[in-house]
Amino acid sequence: MSNLIFLIPIALFLGALGLAAFLWTMKSGQYDDLEGAAWRILDEGDDKPKPD
């Protein structure tokens, strides 16, 4: 029983953390272009032309 005093708040805190993280990602527009994000991950991303 005494363990629960810690465990329940910790569980709730971690859950709330996840919820807050989700709300933040949504607010910062990370779900606006899911298709594009899937392609961007394949991009080298150094934004420089190749040195050939």
Partner 1 sequence: MSCCAAGTESAAELEALKSEAPSAEEMWLSSRPLSDGMRQVDLIVPGVHCGACIALLERELPKTAGVDHARVNLSTRRVSVVFGDTSSTKTAGDHAEAVLTALGEKLKALGYPAHLPGGGEEGVDPAFRELLKALAVAGFASMNVMLLSVSVWSGADDATRDLFHWISALIAAPALAYSGRIFFRSAWDALSHGHANMDVPISLGVILAYAMSLYETITHGEHAYFDASVTLLFFLLAGRTLDHMMREKARSAVRNLVRLSPRGAMVIRDDGSREYLALDEIEPGMRLAIAPGDRIPVDGRVVSGRSDMDFAVVNGESAPLLVEAGSLTPAGTLNLTGSLVLEATKSARNSFLAEMVSMMEAAESGRAGYRRIADRASSIYAPAVHLLALGTFIGWMLVSGDWRMAMMTAVAVLIITCPCALGLAVPVVQVVAAGRLFENGIMVKDGSAMERLAQTDHVVFDKTGTLTRGRPQLINSASVSPDHLAMAARIARASRHPLSQALAVHDLAGDAVPDFDITETPGDGVEAISPEGDVYRLGRAVFALDGHDQGIDGAADGSQVVLSKNGVFMDVFLFSDQLRRGAVQAVARLSALGIDAEILSGDREAPVKALASELGMKNYVAGVRPRGKVDRVKALAAAGGKPLMVGDGLNDAPALSAAHVSMAPASAADVGRMAADFVFLHDSLEAVPLAISVSRKAGSLIRQNFALAVLYNCVAVPVAVMGYATPLIAALAMSSSSVIVVLNSLRLRRKTAVENFARSASDQRAPVGVSDAGLGASA
Smaller CB separation from partner 1, 32 or 52: 32
Nearer to partner 1, 33 or 52 (CB): 33
d(CA 12, CA 18): 10
Sites of contact with partner 1 (CB under 8 A)? 1, 4, 8, 11-12, 15-16, 18-19, 22-23, 26, 29, 31-36, 39-40, 42-43, 47, 49
31 near 25, Cβ under 8 Å?
A: yes
Write down the least CB distance from residue 15 to partner 1, Å: 5
**Contact at 8 Å (CB) between 21 and 28?**
no
